[in-house]
Amino acid sequence: MTNFGLVKKLTYIILFFALFIFNNTLFSQCAMCKAVVESDLESGGKTALGINNGILYLMIIPYLLIAIVGFFIYKNYKKNSSSIENHEQ
């Protein structure tokens, strides 16, 4: 049983480091987006506004998911702690 837990932990560690190793390929697109936005701003376009709104939209989703999961964990913790207190009395 403990051997399975060790394998699971090692898998998570390997995946965590793999994200950092392959992270450099993800940043290659930023230069292209920056060039498009800068050239559009010089010509008076509004592409930068749309890109900024898209970035904000994509940034908010993970925080909302974390907040929702945290809320349910907190709610479950409070329910379990109150049932333990009631059981002890």
Confidence (pLDDT) at 86: 64
Q: What is the mean pLDDT of residues 60-77?
A: 93
User: Is a pLDDT exceeding 90 seen at residue 65?
Assistant: yes
User: In which domain, by residue range, is 19 found?
Assistant: 1-45
| Residue 26 confidence (pLDDT) | 58
Work out the pLDDT band at 17, boundaries 50, 70, 90: confident
- Which residue, 52, 34, 31, 30, is CA-closest to 42? 34
Q: How far apart are CA 51 and CA 67, in angstroms?
A: 25
According to DSSP, residue 73 is labeled H
pTM reported for the whole predicted model: 0.46
Kindly state whether residues 7 and 18 are assigned to the same domain: yes
Angle at 74 between CA 68 and CA 75, to 5 degrees: 90
pLDDT value for 72: 94
**DSSP-derived 3-state class of residue 44:** coil
Do residues 55 and 33 touch, judged by C-beta distance below 8 A? Answer: no
35 and 6, same domain (yes or no): yes
Number of domains in the chain: 2
Based on the fold, state whether residues 39 and 69 are members of the same structural domain.
no
54 shares a domain with 28: no
